[in-house]
Structure 1
């Protein structure tokens, strides 16, 4: 079972645990145009690995190879984040099945659900919680 962890709890883990890693599984277009979590205060960078490859949105068959290439160890505490929590949950399940011991899903992701005007980033998620981020 994968635990949903609030963005604020993830931030606290990234700040306090040297073995905590944030893996952003959104597309390169999202990283560029929507923004990225800014982990510089924690002395870290997010690990950027697409779960689905833009623009075709096909599954990234090299996902686990890319996670290994990023030197994310199976004992690390890996927090997976996407736009709203769906892709990151799938990535976390895949990592768990591959033998990663501590995997988590960032609840509501980077932008969270859409508001009444169909805009994201204001209701819940990393941005809505006021956590550090920067434009790609």
Structure 2
């Protein structure tokens, strides 16, 4: 594994509660943030950092991803939790961050919406299904 590890959404939430310097980075697209929703960290006194891993609408990789982490004020010694829709893009983001000097980069394995159920709905797991705070658009 080329990043610090995988955590569930509930484990990420607990880590964010316990460590005021820990950061949640949502790597989904602008469209997903606007139309699907975002984790809500207001009760922890902070916001989700939004940095696209892939650009919308063409899916092109964000060549400046690591630079965007630094520009967001995230320091290399902070614990960083990367979240996408289902936990795939966030692995790539955690790997890139680790390679860029953020040694405590974690993947939120189930993502915001989790995988599909048999009817192709995202109701199996993920941040929303875990009942963690979130807001719509």
Structure 1 and Structure 2 fold alike (TM over 0.5) = yes
Unaligned runs of 5+ in 1: none
Alpha-carbon shift at residue 105 of structure 1 (Å): 0.2
Q: How many residues align?
A: 135
Question: Which one of 115, 118, 122 corresponds to residue 116 of structure 1?
Answer: 118
Unaligned runs of 5+ in 2: none
Is 1:71 paired with 2:73? yes
Q: Give the structure with the larger strand fraction.
A: 1
Q: Secondary structure at the match of 1:104?
A: strand
Alpha-carbon shift at residue 65 of structure 1 (Å): 1.2
Alpha-carbon shift at residue 66 of structure 1 (Å): 1.0
Question: Which one of 56, 60, 63 corresponds to residue 58 of structure 1?
Answer: 60
Q: Secondary structure at the match of 2:24?
A: strand
Alpha-carbon shift at residue 115 of structure 1 (Å): 1.0
1:35-64: CA deviation from partner (whole Å, max 9, x where unpaired): 000000111101000000000010011111
Question: Which one of 81, 86, 90 corresponds to residue 88 of structure 1?
Answer: 90
